Amino acid sequence: MKRKKIMTIVLIILGVLIITALGLLIYMNIHIKTVYHTLAYNNLPQGFDGYKIILLSDLHDKQYGKDNSRLVDIIKAESPDVIMISGDMHNAENVDPSFYRFAEALAKNYPVYYVEGNHDPTPYKETIESFEMFSESLKKAGVINMRRKKIYLSAPNGDKIALHGYSWHEYGPYMPTFNEDEFNIFLYHDPLIYDSMEKHPDLMLSGHVHGGFIDLPFFGPLVSPAGGTPFIQKLGTDAFFPKYAKGVYENGNDKLVVSRGLGSSGISFRLMPPEIVCVTLTKK
């Protein structure tokens, strides 16, 4: 009788733990977290003091309300100056146009700049949604594709900063150059190239790593996507414990900001909350 009572207690405890774990998993997949970073620079032009950037990444066509209306509402509440998207918002094997409606809703109110990630349509391989269709849809939505581009963002007082963008598929052959006399922002999908760059921008904005998928106590982020390599192939590689996975990393005056992303590829759930990153630039 005593043994039966102990087993009943054990089963109840296990049941509570399973229900709690499932509830936490559901919460982490529907609760959108807004992360705030204030970055101070000596060389920031005065006109950009207080400039607010929303960084989005790695939605992978996930829906938060119809056409991602929840995301739109959260972003509107922040009143950003600009929205920068570091790729993998739309999967190349998906022809659902809902991402473009979301992008259009953003572009009606803010300038929106996009760079392609490893899951976006590309001219370098055949996909269900062609690169031409993808590019034209972004253009119709009012989004500026920053692949291999440098443009200038202007403040009301006439000050300018340089924005550079590169496709994930093109970084190797086309290395960006940063003019030391300018304040430079580099929008690129993968933060793990940071240490291999010959010269760093003042600010680099990235995603791709999904926060390491699992953030282990005492160890940190577990694994990087390694460019879409199947998980089993990561064994024995340096893809474990990525150096850059979330938050802000400082390198002297230069800074790297990494988003943990909004969705997931392959598996349909996340093991950490989806996030919108709000970066405010200030002048020291």
The string of pLDDT tens digits covering residues 28-74 is 666 788 999 999 999 999 999 999 999 999 999 988 999 999 999 99
Which amino acid, residue 145? N
| Helix and strand totals (H; E) in the chain | 4, 14
Which has more pLDDT, 164 or 174? 164
Listed range (30-44, 219-233, 250-264) with the worst mean pLDDT: 219-233
Query: How confident is the model over 86-125, as pLDDT tens digits?
Result: 999 988 887 788 899 999 999 999 999 999 998 888 877 7
Q: Where are the domains of the chain?
A: 1-30, 33-283
* pTM confidence score: 0.85
Q: When comparing pLDDT for 200 and 15, which is higher?
A: 200
In this predicted structure, what is the pLDDT of residue 7? 73
pLDDT at 115: 95
Residue 283 predicted with pLDDT over 50: yes
Most confident of 129-138, 145-154, 263-272: 145-154
Residue matched to tokens 């570091």: 86
d(CA 116, CA 96): 17
* % of the chain with per-residue pLDDT over 70: 84
pLDDT of residue 27: 58
Q: What is the CA radius of gyration of the chain?
A: 21
* Class of 33-283 in CATH: alpha beta
- Name the more confident of 15 and 196: 196
Phi/psi at 145 (5° precision): -80, 120
Q: Tell me, letter by letter, the H, E, C secondary structure of 34-78.
A: EEEEEEEECCCCHHHCCEEEEEECCCCCCCCCHHHHHHHHHHHHH
Segment 254-264 shows an average pLDDT of: 92
* For residues 81-86, average pLDDT: 98
The pLDDT assigned to 198 comes to: 86
Helix (H, G, I), strand (E, B) or coil at 248: strand
CA distances 46 to 41, 49, 283, Å, are: 10, 5, 7
Beta-sheet pairing, 82-85 with 51-56: parallel
pLDDT at 28: 61
Residue 232: per-residue pLDDT: 45
Name the more confident of 15 and 91. 91
Alpha helices in 66-130 (DSSP H): 69-78, 98-107
Reply yes or no on whether the pLDDT at 280 is more than 80.
Answer: yes
Residue 186 pLDDT class (50, 70, 90 cuts): very high
Q: Tell me what pLDDT residue 173 has.
A: 62
Contact in structure between 176 and 164 (CB atoms under 8 Å)? yes
Task: Work out the mean pLDDT of the chain and round it to a whole number.
Answer: 85
Asked whether the beta carbons of 98 and 71 are under 8 A apart, the reply is no
Q: pLDDT value at position 143?
A: 97
User: Average of pLDDT values for 239-247?
Assistant: 84
Q: Which of 48-52, 88-92, 149-153, 210-214 has the lowest mean pLDDT?
A: 210-214
Note the Cα 123 to chain centre separation in Å. 22
